[in-house]
Structure 1
Amino acid sequence: MPEQPAVDRRVQRSRAALMAAAVRLVSERGTTALPVAEFTEAANVSRKLLYMHFGDRDGLLVAAAIDLVERELLPRTVEMDGDLREHVLATVRHFAEHRPFYRPMLTGPCAFAMTTKQNSLLGSLSRDTVRDVYGDLEQQTLNDLALVITSGVSAVVNDWLINADDPLDPDAMTDRLQRMASALINSRSGGGRVR
């Protein structure tokens, strides 16, 4: 593979430094209402660079949230076998571990943009499960169902991240989500009572 030009590596390092600064500062301060200058100073880059790559502070924050999922959560789930509970538990643990970051993100002005992008990203992971449960579906219907399920699960997890008392219990949340999934699957198959 050819070596990347130095300019590309510098851009990648600057973007990574800004996103890392965003996660760290929001986690430490418990708010997204921080001046752009704090992010740029922490990352040792110019304000111009932030605006050029992310548009504004909220663009940086949303990119940092998506980057966190792509760097830390997705590799965990790719390494797992097909055990749905383990996938759900890994996802719930990720959000619980990063609660100091996600909680202010979910209550700040970029919440909608972040959840929309995360639901799209995580929805792509649930398509196989939807196909297994509902069988052969038209592609648009499959995509829509995956998004509805992902968005619903996201709403439950987000409420937990925002409102639950410390310490968060990822195992209990995973059990709760599995009961919800069981109810959906049993209602689809005409199965028995959900507990």
Structure 2
Amino acid sequence: MRRSRAALMSSAIAVVTTHGTTNVGLSEIAERADVSRKVAYQQFGDLQTLLLEAGLDLARRELVPDVETLPPGRTRALACARHFAEHRVFYRALLTSSSGFALEAGLAQLLWPYTRDRLEELFGGEFDPQLIGDLAVHLGGGAMAMLKAWLTRGENHLDAEAFADRMLRVAYFLVPAGAASLTDNGVDGSPTPSNGGT
């Protein structure tokens, strides 16, 4: 059953990416996954749940490992931007569908612990856990709004490097200590000057 669940999520990503919309049939997804519609319903209940779980699973498999292993700063931000740019068609389709709000919330929840941990590193001795958690929610929500706009209203060709720099400029404006800590540790976490104000 675990194998069929993974096959269905992989198939859902492929089918939505091919059509560029979530207006697809569960039968097509099931056929591509080589399982029956009955199995698909048993695993997920309905199409929207399958698509949502497929989006979150994609982020868990391909995005979270980079967030966990790469150092904070531009390297991590660029890896995140490249992930979403690579899967832009799929994420855009979900974000503009009835599953959009749930996907945004799920992605924010998925990444919130890493933002919180980074803030804990910077301010653990100054701020109480409640404030750090609230700041992580605030920063994550803003980042998600920027990401959604970039994926759904951006140019046909997405510039991941420019977007990563935009994200960092905002983050370091709101939390200057983040940039300072990277510089102090000999890590270039600042946006590249070649991208200017874009």
Coarse TM-score class (shorter-chain normalised):
0.7 to 0.9
Aligned counterparts of 2:177 and 2:61: Cα–Cα separation in 1? 36
Identical counterparts, % of pairs: 39
Partner of 1:34: 24
Alignment of 1:18-57 (within 5 A): 18-57=8-47
Query: How has the CA–CA distance of structure 1 residues 23 and 179 changed in structure 2, closer, same or farther, with 3 Å as cutoff?
Result: same
* 1:139 maps onto 2:124 in alignment: no
Partner of 2:188: none
- The structure 2 residue matched to 1:129, chosen from 118, 135, 149, is 118
Aligned counterparts of 1:141 and 1:18: Cα–Cα separation in 2? 40
1:58-100: CA deviation from partner (whole Å, max 9, x where unpaired): 11111101111111111223332x2321111111110000001
C-alpha contact (below 8 Å) 1:18/1:40 kept by paired residues: yes
Output the amino acid matched with 1:117: G
Partner of 1:92: 81
Listed as ranges, the gaps of 5+ residues in structure 2 are 179-196
User: What number of residue pairs does the alignment pair up?
Assistant: 178
Q: Aligned-pair distance for 1:112?
A: 0.8
* 1:75 maps onto 2:54 in alignment: no
Superposed CA RMSD: 1.9
Output the amino acid matched with 2:29: F
1:156-189: CA deviation from partner (whole Å, max 9, x where unpaired): 011001111121101100111111012102499x
Output the amino acid matched with 1:165: E
Output the amino acid matched with 1:101: F
Listed as ranges, the gaps of 5+ residues in structure 1 are 1-10, 189-194
C-alpha contact (below 8 Å) 1:133/1:185 kept by paired residues: no
1:133-166: CA deviation from partner (whole Å, max 9, x where unpaired): 4434333332222122111101101100111112
C-alpha contact (below 8 Å) 2:67/2:114 kept by paired residues: no
The alignment partner of 2:16 has SS state of helix
| TM-score normalised by the chain length of structure 1 | 0.85
C-alpha contact (below 8 Å) 2:16/2:90 kept by paired residues: yes
